[in-house]
Structure 1
Amino acid sequence: MEIFLKSLALSLVMSISCKVFFDTLLEKRRWRRGWIENTELLAFTLGIIIISMSEIPPYAIQPIRFTAVICIAVQIYYRVRFVQNVFLSILFCGIFWIVEILTISFIYLLPITGISIQIVEESVSDILLLCLMLLFHFKYKGKTNVMSGTKWTRFLFFPVFCMVIIIAATMYPWNGQGGNEYVRVLVLAGFGLVNMAAFYFLWDILVREAEMQNLRLGRERTQNQMNMYQSMQENYERQRRFLHDYKNQLNCIQGMLAEGKTEETMEYLTALNGSIRMNADHVNTNHTAVNVVLNQKYSYAREKGITMTISVNDLSSLTMGEEDIVTILVNLLDNAIEACEKLESNKVIQFKMTVEDGELILSIRNPVKEPVKIRDNRIATTKPEEGHGIGLINVQSVVQKNCGTSILRCEDGWFFFSAMIPV
C-alpha cells in the first residue's frame, strides 16, 4: 500500500509537470461536453501510474513507452499535428531524463547508501521537474504561436539526439564504486547541463521568431488602418465633389424646367439617379470600420466581375478593436477575391457578419480552383503563392486573442471559413 501511495503521489507530480508544459505551448481541444476537458490531468496520471506499476522493459524500450503514453494523451486533449506532438513529447521526456541524470549525478556524490539513493532520487527529480516546468510556464505563458508554422522542425534532431545519448548512458548499472564512477557522474552532469543550456538557446530562437511574426502582424494591422483611413478620406473628398456637382446639376435642372424642357429634364434625372446609385455605399452596419472595409471590397470585387453577397445586421455593439476587425475582414476578403480571380466562371463570394445572442457570427464561402488541404484547422501549406494560406494565420490569431473559435473547411470545390467571437 505504501508503494502504491508513493507511486500515486509521484505520478501526480509528474502529470502536473506534463500538463503545465503542454498548456504553455499548445491550444486545448474544444469538446461539446465541457467536462471532458477537465479529465486531462487524470489521463496523464493514469498513464504514468500504469507505467510505474507495470513490468520494467529493457532500457531501450523505457523512453519509447513513456513517450508513447504522453503522445497519446496530448493528441486527445490538444490541437496539435502528429509530428509536432511527437517532437514535443520527446522533448518533454528528454528534459525529464536530463533532470533525472543531473539529480542522480549530484546524489551519487553524497555519502548515502545505495538504497537511499533510489528513494531520494525519484522524489527530488520529480519535484525539480515540476519547478522547472512552472518557471517555463511563467516565462513563456501566452506564447503558443511559438510552435505555429514549420520553423520548429529545424530543431527536430535535438530531442531525438538527447534521447539516444540518455538511453546509452542509462544502460550501465549505477553502483557508486570505483574512481571511474565519479568521472562518469561528472561527464553525465556536464552532458545534462549542456543540453539544458542548448534547449534554452534553441527555445529562445523560436520565441524571437514568434515575436518577429507578431511584429509583422502589427505592421499589417497598421497598414490596414492606414488604408482604411485613406479610404475614408477618399470617400469624404468624393462626397464633397459630388455635393459640388449636384449643386450645378440642380441649377441645370432648374434652367431646363424654366425653359419648359420636361422630357429632357426627365431623361437627365434618370441618368443622374443612376450615377448616384453607382457611387452610393452598399453596406451600412452602424460600424464605421466594418462599413469602410466592406464597401471598399464590394466595389473592388464588382470591378473584377465577382458577385459578392453580404448578410449583415446592426454591428454597433461590437467591442472588438478596430485593428482586429480590419485584420480579419481584409485578410478573409482579399483571399476570397484572389481565389475567385483564378476562376473562369462561378465567381461568387458569400459573406455573413452578424451579432446573434451576444456573439459575432462571421463566415465566408467562395469557390476555389484547386482543393485546399486543411490539417488541424490550418492550411497545410507554407507556399506564399497559395492565396488562402496568406493571412489566415493572422486571422486565427486575432480570433483566439478575442476568445473566439474558428473552423476551416474545403468541400466540393468550396472553401469555408467561420468564426464565433464573444461580443
Structure 2
Amino acid sequence: MEYILNFVIIAIEILCLKNFIEIFAEKNKKQYVCVLSIITLILGIYGIDCVLNDFVIAKIMCVVLCMSFWVKFINNMKLWRAVFMSASFMCILTLLDAIILTFFGNIFEAGAGMAENDVVGIYYKTLLTRMIMIALIMYIKRKFAVGGSEYLINEFEWLKYLYFPLMTIIIIVGMLVYCDDITLHNNVVLSIVSLLAVMNFIVFSLIENVVRREKQISESKLLQNDIKSKHEYYQYVSENYEIQRQEIHEFKNQIDCILEMLNHGEYAQTQTFLKNITENLDDRIDCIDTKNAIINAVLNQKYRTALKKEILMVFQLQNLSENQIKDTDIVTILSNLIDNAIETCEKCNGQKRIKVKIKFNDAKDTIISVKNSVPNGYKFDKNHIVTNKKNKRIHGCGIKNIINIVEKNEGHYNIECSDNEFCFSIIIPQIHSLTS
C-alpha cells in the first residue's frame, strides 16, 4: 500500500510541476511528447524514491536534477533557469508540507485511528498540501502566466473554477478530523480522495483547453479583422489611383479646351468653365487630412460610407503625423469603432450623427473617442453589449479586438451610453504606443 501511495503522490507532484512551469514558460513540444515525457519522469522519480529512500539529501538532489532536465527538454529553457525553477518548486512544496505538519498536525492526530496508521495520515497531509498547491497555481497562472488569457475569463468565473480544489481540500480535512472509522475503510477512503485529486487535474486541464481555444478564436478574429482592414485600405488606395488616372486624362482635355476658348477670346465662357471644374474638384478631394496617410485613408473611407447612408460625421482632429500606435492597431480600432457607429446610426429613425475625436493630450498620450446616435430602446450593459444580430457569437468580436489592443498597450477604455448617444473612449499612453 505504501508504494502505491508514494506513486500517486509523485504523479500529483509532477502534474503540479507541469502547471507551475507553465506560469513562466510555454511548452514547445507536441502533446504526445509531453505526455510520454511526464510518464517517464514519474517513473524515473518513483525509482529514485525507492532506491534512495534512506538518503534524503541525495534523493532530493536527484529529483531536482531530473525535474530540471525535463523542464529544459519541454520548454527549451536554459539549464540554470530550469534548475532554479525546479528547486523553487520543491522549496514551495517543502514549505507547504512544513506548514501543514506544524499548524494542523495536532488537529489531524485527533482523528480516530490516525495513530494506528501513520502512513495514511502522512498521505492525507501530503495530498492536502498538493491540493493547496494546485489552488495557488490556478490563481497565479490566471494572473501571471506567459501568454495568459486573463481577459477571457473574469474574476467571478475563476472563483467558480477554484471551487473544486477548495472543496477537495475541505473534504480531506473533514475526513481527517471527523471520520471515526477511517482505519476500517482505508482502501475505499484513499481511493475516493485520490480520485478527487485526479479530478482536480482533469478539471484544470479542461479549463485550460477551453481558455486556450477561446484565445485562439479571439486571435483568429483579430487577424481576420486586421486583414479586412488592410484590404479596405489597399482597395481605397487602388480606387484613388484609378480615379487619379481618369482625372489626369480629363484634366488634359480640360486644359486643351480652356486654351482653345482663350484663343478665341471667349473669356466669360472660360471663367464659367473654370468655376465648374473647381467645384467638381472640391468634391473629389479628400475632406480629411491628419498628416497621417493610414488614418486619412480610414477616416475618408468611413466618411464617404457615412455620406452615402445620410449620416452626419463630425471630426475633432489635430496633426497626427507623430502617431506612434502600430498601423494595424490604429486601423483595427478606428475601423471597428466607426463601423459599429455607422451600423447603429442606420437603425435610428431621427438624427443620425457620429462624432470622432483623435488627439494627443499634454503627456502625448493618444486619445480616441467615437460617439454616435442610438435608436430608441437601445439596450446597453457595461459588461455585455446586447445585440440584435442573428449570429450573437461573432457579434462583439470587433469590440473585443479593440479591448485586446488597448489592454496590450496598457491603455484604458470607457464605454458610456445615454438615452440618445453611445460613446467609446480610449486613451493609450505614449510609452506603450512607442513600444507596441
Using the size of structure 2 for normalisation, the TM-score is 0.63
Who is 1:53 aligned against? none
> Is 1:316 the equivalent of 2:321?
yes
1:186-223 Cα offsets, whole Å, 9 max, x none, are 22111221232132123312311221221121011012
Q: Distance in 2 between matches of 1:110 and 1:298?
A: 82
Who is 1:364 aligned against? 370
Who is 1:69 aligned against? none
Q: Distance in 1 between matches of 2:389 and 2:125?
A: 53
Q: By how many angstroms is 1:392 displaced?
A: 1.5
Query: Counterpart of 2:385 in structure 1: which amino acid?
Result: I
* 8 Å contact kept, 1:314–1:355: no
Q: Distance in 2 between matches of 1:135 and 1:391?
A: 27
1:249-288 to 2 correspondences below 5 Å:
249-288=254-293
Q: By how many angstroms is 1:112 displaced?
A: 3.7
1:348-389 Cα offsets, whole Å, 9 max, x none, are 111111122211111111111034444345424585578994
In 2 relative to 1, CA 276–110 (structure 1 residues): closer, same or farther, beyond 3 Å?
farther
2:222 to 197, 213, 217: 217
Query: Counterpart of 2:202 in structure 1: which amino acid?
Result: A
1:422 to 421, 429, 432: 429
The 10-residue stretch of structure 1 (111-120 or 127-136) with the greater mean CA deviation from structure 2: 111-120
- RMSD of aligned Cα (Å): 4.0
* 8 Å contact kept, 1:354–1:362: yes
* 8 Å contact kept, 2:292–2:321: yes
Who is 2:419 aligned against? 412
* 8 Å contact kept, 1:382–1:389: no
Q: Distance in 2 between matches of 1:110 and 1:276?
A: 98
1:207 to 192, 208, 212: 212
Q: Distance in 1 between matches of 2:130 and 2:168?
A: 22
In 2 relative to 1, CA 129–346 (structure 1 residues): closer, same or farther, beyond 3 Å?
closer
Who is 1:179 aligned against? 184
* 8 Å contact kept, 1:301–1:307: yes
Q: Distance in 1 between matches of 2:190 and 2:166?
A: 18
Q: Secondary structure at the match of 1:273?
A: helix
Who is 2:333 aligned against? 328
Who is 1:293 aligned against? 298
* 8 Å contact kept, 1:109–1:182: no
Q: Distance in 2 between matches of 1:128 and 1:160?
A: 12
Who is 1:337 aligned against? 342
Q: Distance in 2 between matches of 1:411 and 1:110?
A: 70
Query: Counterpart of 1:295 in structure 2: which amino acid?
Result: N
Who is 1:239 aligned against? 244
Q: By how many angstroms is 1:182 displaced?
A: 3.6
* 8 Å contact kept, 1:145–1:210: no
Who is 2:53 aligned against? none
Who is 1:351 aligned against? 356
Q: Distance in 2 between matches of 1:169 and 1:124?
A: 11
Query: Counterpart of 1:405 in structure 2: which amino acid?
Result: H
Query: Counterpart of 2:381 in structure 1: which amino acid?
Result: R
The 10-residue stretch of structure 1 (177-186 or 347-356) with the greater mean CA deviation from structure 2: 177-186
In 2 relative to 1, CA 415–115 (structure 1 residues): closer, same or farther, beyond 3 Å?
same
Q: By how many angstroms is 1:318 displaced?
A: 1.4
> Is 1:379 the equivalent of 2:376?
no
In 2 relative to 1, CA 197–377 (structure 1 residues): closer, same or farther, beyond 3 Å?
closer
Using the size of structure 1 for normalisation, the TM-score is 0.65
Q: How many residue pairs are counted as aligned between the two chains?
A: 319
Query: Counterpart of 1:395 in structure 2: which amino acid?
Result: I
* 8 Å contact kept, 1:308–1:351: yes
In 2 relative to 1, CA 162–116 (structure 1 residues): closer, same or farther, beyond 3 Å?
closer
Q: By how many angstroms is 1:256 displaced?
A: 1.0
Q: By how many angstroms is 1:167 displaced?
A: 6.5
The 10-residue stretch of structure 1 (207-216 or 387-396) with the greater mean CA deviation from structure 2: 387-396
Q: By how many angstroms is 1:295 displaced?
A: 0.6
Q: Which runs of 5+ in 1 are unaligned?
A: 1-19, 25-99
Identical-pair percentage: 28
1:192 to 180, 191, 197: 197
1:317-356 Cα offsets, whole Å, 9 max, x none, are 1121111111111111111111111223311111111122
Q: By how many angstroms is 1:263 displaced?
A: 1.9
